[in-house]
Amino acid sequence: MAKDDHIIQEFTSREYEHGWVSDLEADAAPKGLSEDIVRFISRRKSEPEWLLEWRLKAYRHWTTMVEPKWPNVTYPAINYQDIIYYSAPKQKASPTSLDEIDPELLKTFEKLGISLTEQKRLSGIAVDAVLDSVSVATTFKEKLGELGIIFCSFSEAVREHPDLIKKYLGSVVPATDNYFAALNSAVFSDGSFCYIPAGVRCPMELSTYFRINAAKTGQFERTLIVADEGSYVSYLEGCTAPMRDENQLHAAVVEIYAMKNAEVKYSTVQNWYPGNKDGVGGIYNFVTKRGLCAGDHAKISWTQVETGSAITWKYPSCVLKGDYSVGEFYSVAVTNNYQQADTGTKMIHLGKNTKSRIVSKGISAGKSQNSYRGQVHVHKRAVQSRNFSQCDSLLLGDQCGAHTFPYIDVENSSSRVEHEATTSKIGEDQIFYCQQRGIDEESAVALIVNGYAKEVLNQLPMEFAVEAQKLLALTLEGSVG
Amino acid sequence: MEAATDKKNLLSLLAEAFDQRGLDHHAGRRKAMELFSAKGLPTAKSEEYRFTPIVRALESNFTAIAPTKSTTPQFLEHLWSMPCNLVVFINGVYSATHSILLDPHIKITRAEIGTTLLSEDPFALLNHAFAETEVTIEVPPHHTIEQPLAVVYCFDQPSFIFANPRWTCRIGAGSKLSVLEYTLAESSSPYFNNKQSFIEVGEHTILELTTLQQGSKDEVLVNNSLVNMASSSRAYCYTGTLEGKLVRNNLTLLIDGEGIDAHLHGLYLVGGSSLVDNHTVVDHRKPNSQSNELYKGVMDGNGKAVFNGKIFVRPDAQKTNAFQSNRNILLSEASNIHTKPQLEIWADDVKCSHGCTTGQLDEEALFYLRSRGLAKDTAKGMLLNAFASETLEGIPNESIRAQVNQLIQNKLHPTIE
């Protein structure tokens, strides 16, 4: 037992490794939220009139809404007037090449291991990096352009491809969808836009990297992915933030629009600052992610590894509108110390013969609370639909909690829906078995946890799987006995 | 907007009736009514009643006039072949003349309603405010009661009745009691049976609680049932719902001791435009206990079912084993099911799982039977019977099990024809 305590202590005392702050001059809006701030952001980004109107509409709707209280998380009330809604690293005009970008900024991304300088061309990932509120650089643009793929920052897309943005912005997550989506719609500062033309298979992984740098800012980015008929893209998202005593708000929106026969794979490794071991500080991660399988045979797959954030409130969902469309959700959520996660998915079956699969693995340690909340809704018209859900929870330590809230609504008689969930700790017999074969306790635990999460980790693209495994190993090695 | 005004009407009808009957002079009732008024009636926005429009089901013919004790109901007959100790409520009012005890060890007392609220459920509060009297059934320690205790709810009036039967049963340590709960009603009498029961199970005690719901076709039933279990006790709870326009079961088991073994089984056969809603709570508060839950349902016609099974494992409840399974068969296009198996766990050394399925009869099994010359309906009936009878494992008493099985079969046959 003494050994266990030691191990748990070692694990819980581990500090966040991305906790540095870059000394960048920032161009920021004053604190607070009002129509003027919305106008300020829109003006600063030289946006067209219609987008400003869209933002204002979202803002006005937001003022009539109340913050949702149903997630199984507790936190002190957020003062929305105490947040800086826009902060951009200061730049001289717009950079024409990477040489003109603030070297401090480049250093920031080097620390994160992101290949902005294209030196690591061999790693073969196109990156759009978003610092605080602004997209700072996008790589591999030309190469992608040859195939007709548009991959750029959101502001650039508004300038260069206004028709596409106008058509698809808010088509999956309307500006008035929920409290945080409305807030995001009003004040979103930048993000990534990606369009894959019909029949194109994107040759490399596309990636966005988010980092909150400045103090007291909120980050509100928006990602929009449009996959035209028969196209394929794999998209990665990663994020980090400095260590700070106060909580910072991150309310992002991700929209995926998949047309006939298109396939989109969206992977996230979320590693926001989780707060220190006493639960001070950390990011509030309130994110709306939704994909629409608009055409027949479309497929959207969400994979997420959630290790950071003080509070996570996130339900990547699939609306299966096209016949024979497929939705998938694979998730590993790890909570430690005082972290709280309420995460899961929604699979809305509307088309005929639609299929969905949910695999959710929760791991809670320390004094954390980890909830799975998911909905599977099979509409009357969605005949012959199929769903399989599995959500398992692993408890490490006796002061954490694991909760499951699955909602299953079936409205026709030809569909099959299955759900199963288990909660347990690592079996002593499993550890004993490994030890018997000469594997020490720590390695045994690592082995078992890895095996437990494997089904999800296998879904990640290679480059990300390595990072995710490292993160898991860092957080969990030897944390149980 | 119309629904909103109707709801207000129902609320004001209840408030008026409460004042008219002079119930507000009683502290306990007043407390319940105040809390109820503050909470209001549940709507589609209330998480616990999202799919269960009780207010709408009541709106059409609700009156809150005080129920009258009826003359001898013509149809008070034995549902069961064995002799039973009888506790009878007629139109929601306890009837001493009909309640006949065979076992002299059982004691029944009547008292004014207490001031302790059992639950904050709006209907439990309503019962607290309106129940005529608190009927307490006591079984002394170390007695095995041979004949089951039948709690019967009779309804014999053609006009609407708002009934609030309420009883408490205390089973002493080391005793054993089998409780049979059922309704006797004319097939079309309209009533709202808002029942509340509280069973306290002593240490080393065995409780068998079999609830059979087959009231009238116009029945609206809210069945609040709370079971509090002490160490080393055992409980077998069976809830079979065969009839009723709208049935809501709130079955709560408090596992408040160690070495407890709790079994919850349920079956709901929903046809026509009925709705059956089962909400169960198994609350593990102490370590080293186990619970096992199996609920199955068959939905036909426009039938709609709701299942919500909550399992709580509190921080102290280490070494808990809790299992839950919910299986549903949808027979018709218009039928539907909303299920939410919910686990909330705060202890690490536990084994908990839940599973839930929704589907159809197995095509291959059906084909197999038909290839052996069985008519489609017969084959379907056989498969449904097999599906349903698994839940009967939750009734330990063989003779009761056989009779419940017969009733289920009778009900299933018209469904398949």
Q: At what angle do helices A441-457 and A462-476 cross, to 10 degrees?
A: 140
B35 and B178 both lie in a single domain: yes
Average pLDDT over residues A375-392: 92
Chain B residues in contact with A380 (beta carbon < 8 A): 333, 336
Phi then psi dihedrals of residue B140, to 5 deg: -70, 165
CB contact at 8 A, A235 and A225:
yes
Phi then psi dihedrals of residue A205, to 5 deg: -75, 135
Please report whether residue A410 resides in a domain.
yes
Please report whether residue A358 resides in a domain.
yes
In this complex, the residue of B335, B340, B348 whose CB is nearest that of residue A408 is: B340
Please report whether residue B23 resides in a domain.
yes
pLDDT at position A226 is: 94
> Which of A349-353, A356-360, B189-193, B245-249 has the lowest average pLDDT?
B189-193
With an 8 Å Cβ cutoff, is B350 touching chain A?
A: yes
Per-residue pLDDT at A245 exceeds 70: no
Chain B residues in contact with A416 (beta carbon < 8 A): 357-360
B128 and B242 both lie in a single domain: yes
pLDDT at position B252 is: 96
Question: Tokens standing for A403?
Answer: 């909760």
Please report whether residue A56 resides in a domain.
yes
Average pLDDT over residues A462-468: 70
CB contact at 8 A, A59 and A85:
no
In angstroms, the CA B120 to CA A364 distance is 31
* Confidence band, pLDDT 50/70/90 cuts, at residue A24: low
Q: Which residue of A has its CA nearest to B358?
A: A417
With an 8 Å Cβ cutoff, is B144 touching chain A?
A: no
Final residue of a domain: which of B217, B238, B256? B256
Q: Do B333 and A412 touch (CB under 8 A)?
A: yes
CB contact at 8 A, B309 and B338:
no
DSSP track, B35-81: HHHHH-S--TTSGGGTT--HHHHHHTT---PPPPPPS--TT---SSS
**Which B residues, 312 through 331, put their C-beta within 8 Å of a C-beta on chain A?**
315, 318, 328, 330-331
Chain A residues in contact with B47 (beta carbon < 8 A): 70
Residues in chain B: 417
Q: CA nearest A257: which of A221, A282, A219, A289? A: A289
* DSSP secondary structure letter of residue B104: T
Phi then psi dihedrals of residue A395, to 5 deg: -110, 125
Please report whether residue B245 resides in a domain.
yes
Rounded to a whole number of angstroms, the distance from the CA of A302 to the nearest CA of chain B is: 23
Q: Do A395 and B350 touch (CB under 8 A)?
A: yes
Q: Which of the residue ranges A51-65, A79-93, B61-75 has the most confident prediction, judged by mean pLDDT?
A: A51-65
pLDDT at position B275 is: 94
Q: Which residue of B has its CA nearest to A371?
A: B344
Question: Can you tell me the ipTM of this complex?
Answer: 0.81
Chain A residues in contact with B338 (beta carbon < 8 A): 407-410
Chain A residues in contact with B336 (beta carbon < 8 A): 380, 409-412
In angstroms, the CA A401 to CA A420 distance is 18
Phi then psi dihedrals of residue B256, to 5 deg: -110, 45
Please report whether residue A117 resides in a domain.
yes
Q: Which residue of A has its CA nearest to B46?
A: A70
With an 8 Å Cβ cutoff, is A422 touching chain B?
A: yes
In angstroms, the CA A29 to CA A428 distance is 55
Rounded to a whole number of angstroms, the distance from the CA of B20 to the nearest CA of chain A is: 39
Rounded to a whole number of angstroms, the distance from the CA of B182 to the nearest CA of chain A is: 30
With an 8 Å Cβ cutoff, is B223 touching chain A?
A: no
In angstroms, the CA B347 to CA B315 distance is 5
Phi then psi dihedrals of residue A61, to 5 deg: -65, -40
Q: Do B337 and A424 touch (CB under 8 A)?
A: no
pLDDT at position A213 is: 58
Burial environment of residue A279 by CB neighbours within 10 A (0 to 12, 13 to 18, 19 or more): middle
With an 8 Å Cβ cutoff, is A414 touching chain B?
A: yes
In angstroms, the CA A336 to CA A344 distance is 18
Question: Tokens standing for A73?
Answer: 């998380």
Per-residue pLDDT of A215-224, as tens digits, reads 556 678 888 9
Q: How many domains does chain B have?
A: 2
In angstroms, the CA A14 to CA A272 distance is 15
With an 8 Å Cβ cutoff, is A400 touching chain B?
A: yes
How many CB pairs below 8 Å do chains A and B form together?
A: 112
Please report whether residue A481 resides in a domain.
no
In angstroms, the CA B107 to CA B149 distance is 12
Q: Do B353 and A414 touch (CB under 8 A)?
A: no
- State percent of chain A over pLDDT 90: 28
Rounded to a whole number of angstroms, the distance from the CA of A331 to the nearest CA of chain B is: 18
Question: Tokens standing for A95?
Answer: 């950079």
Chain B residues in contact with A418 (beta carbon < 8 A): 355-359
In this complex, the residue of B330, B335, B353 whose CB is nearest that of residue A422 is: B353
* DSSP secondary structure letter of residue B392: G
Buried b (16+ CB within 10 A) or exposed e, A391-408: bbbbbbbeebbbbbbbbb
pLDDT at position A246 is: 67
B217 and B366 both lie in a single domain: no
- State percent of chain A over pLDDT 70: 76
In angstroms, the CA B265 to CA B278 distance is 11
pLDDT at position A120 is: 41
Q: Do B343 and A411 touch (CB under 8 A)?
A: no
Strands (E), B285-412: 290-299, 304-313, 321-330, 336-345, 351-359
CB contact at 8 A, A328 and A364:
no
Q: Which residue, among A335, A423, A480, would best test binding to B if mutated, counting the most B CBs under 10 Å from its CB?
A: A423
Per-residue pLDDT at A40 exceeds 90: no
Question: pLDDT per position in chain B (417 positions), as tens?
Answer: 334 445 557 888 888 888 888 888 888 899 999 999 988 888 888 888 888 888 888 887 787 766 665 555 555 566 677 888 999 998 888 988 888 899 999 999 999 888 888 888 999 999 999 998 999 999 999 999 999 999 999 888 888 889 999 999 999 999 999 999 999 887 778 899 999 999 999 999 999 999 999 888 889 999 999 999 999 999 999 999 998 899 999 999 999 999 999 999 999 999 889 999 999 999 999 999 999 999 999 999 999 999 999 999 998 899 999 999 999 999 998 999 999 999 899 888 888 889 999 999 988 999 999 999 998 888 998 899 999 989 998 899 888 999 899 888 888 875 444
* DSSP secondary structure letter of residue B316: T
pLDDT at position B328 is: 94
CB contact at 8 A, A341 and A315:
no
Please report whether residue B86 resides in a domain.
yes
Q: Do A418 and B352 touch (CB under 8 A)?
A: no
Per-residue pLDDT of A143-176, as tens digits, reads 788 888 888 888 888 888 989 998 999 899 988 8
Q: Which residue, among B348, B354, B362, B415, would best test binding to A if mutated, counting the most A CBs under 10 Å from its CB?
A: B348
- Could you give the C-alpha distances from A213 to A86, A106, A241, A245, B135, in angstroms and in order? 12, 13, 6, 14, 67
Please report whether residue B48 resides in a domain.
yes
Helix H or strand E segment including B30: helix B27-39
Q: CA nearest A406: which of B408, B9, B180, B354? A: B354
pLDDT at position A308 is: 79
In this complex, the residue of A380, A397, A424 whose CB is nearest that of residue B351 is: A424
Mean pLDDT for all residues in chain A: 80
Question: Tokens standing for A422?
Answer: 């288990």
CB contact at 8 A, B237 and B260:
no
Alpha helices (runs of H) in B90-225, residue ranges in sequence order: 122-130
Chain A residues in contact with B318 (beta carbon < 8 A): 398
Sort strands B351-359 and B261-270 into parallel, antiparallel or unpaired. Answer: unpaired
- The domain of A402 spans 2-476
B251 and B367 both lie in a single domain: no
With an 8 Å Cβ cutoff, is B359 touching chain A?
A: yes
Helix H or strand E segment including B1: none
In angstroms, the CA A319 to CA B165 distance is 46
- The domain of B55 spans 2-256
pLDDT at position B83 is: 86
Final residue of a domain: which of B238, B256, B274? B256
Please report whether residue B68 resides in a domain.
yes
In this complex, the residue of B331, B338, B349 whose CB is nearest that of residue A409 is: B338
**Region of A46 on the Ramachandran plot (φ > 0 left; ψ -120 to 50 alpha; else beta):** left
Please report whether residue B402 resides in a domain.
yes
Chain A residues in contact with B356 (beta carbon < 8 A): 406, 408, 417-420
pLDDT at position A1 is: 42
Distance spanning both ends of chain A, measured CA to CA = 8
**Which B residues, 330 through 349, put their C-beta within 8 Å of a C-beta on chain A?**
330-333, 335-349
Mean pLDDT for all residues in chain B: 88
Per-residue pLDDT of A90-134, as tens digits, reads 544 444 445 555 565 556 555 555 545 444 443 445 566 666 555
Q: CA nearest A80: which of A47, A21, A39, A37? A: A37
The amino acid occupying position B156 is D
B18 and B153 both lie in a single domain: yes
Locus of tokens 């709705």: B275
Rounded to a whole number of angstroms, the distance from the CA of B274 to the nearest CA of chain A is: 15
Per-residue pLDDT of A306-335, as tens digits, reads 887 888 888 999 999 999 999 999 998 888
With an 8 Å Cβ cutoff, is A412 touching chain B?
A: yes
Residues in chain A: 481
Question: Tokens standing for B362?
Answer: 């197995």
Final residue of a domain: which of B237, B256, B275? B256
CA count, 13 A, side-chain hemisphere, A222: 27
The amino acid occupying position A302 is W
Alpha helices (runs of H) in B258-375, residue ranges in sequence order: 363-371
With an 8 Å Cβ cutoff, is B381 touching chain A?
A: no
Sort strands B206-213 and B176-185 into parallel, antiparallel or unpaired. Answer: parallel
In angstroms, the CA B56 to CA B246 distance is 10
> Which residues are CB-contacts of B162 (< 8 A; sequence separation ≥ 6)?
B17, B62, B63, B64, B65, B67, B92, B130, B191, B192, B194
In angstroms, the CA A178 to CA A68 distance is 9
In angstroms, the CA A151 to CA A145 distance is 8
Chain B residues in contact with A386 (beta carbon < 8 A): none
Rounded to a whole number of angstroms, the distance from the CA of A277 to the nearest CA of chain B is: 19
Locus of tokens 């909660």: A423
Chain B residues in contact with A335 (beta carbon < 8 A): none
Q: How many domains does chain A have?
A: 1
Please report whether residue B319 resides in a domain.
no
Q: Encode chain A in three state secondary structure.
A: CHHHHHHHHHHHCCCCCCCCCCCCCEEECCECCCHHHHHHHHHHCCCCHHHHHHHHHHHHHHHCCCCCCCCCCCCCCCCHHHCECCEEECCCCCCCCHHHCCHHHHHHHHHCCCCCCCCCHHHCEEEEEEECCEEEEECCHHHHHHCCCEEEEHHHHHHHCHHHHHHHCCCCCCCCCCHHHHHHHHHCCEEEEEEECCCCECCCEEEEEEECCCCCECECEEEEEEECCCCEEEEEEEEECCCCCCEEEECCEEEEEECCCCEEEEEEEECCCCCCCCCCCEEEEEEEEEEEECCCCCEEEEEEEECCCCEEEECCEEEECCCCCEEEEEEEEEECCCCEEEECCEEEECCCCCEEEEEEEEEEECCCEEEEEEEEEECCCCCCCEEEEEEEEEEECCCCEEEEEEEEEECCCCCEEEEEEEEECCCHHHHHHHHHCCCCHHHHHHHHHHHHHHHHHCCCCHHHHHHHHHHHHHHHCCCCC
Please report whether residue B294 resides in a domain.
no
Sort strands A299-306 and A326-335 into parallel, antiparallel or unpaired. Answer: parallel
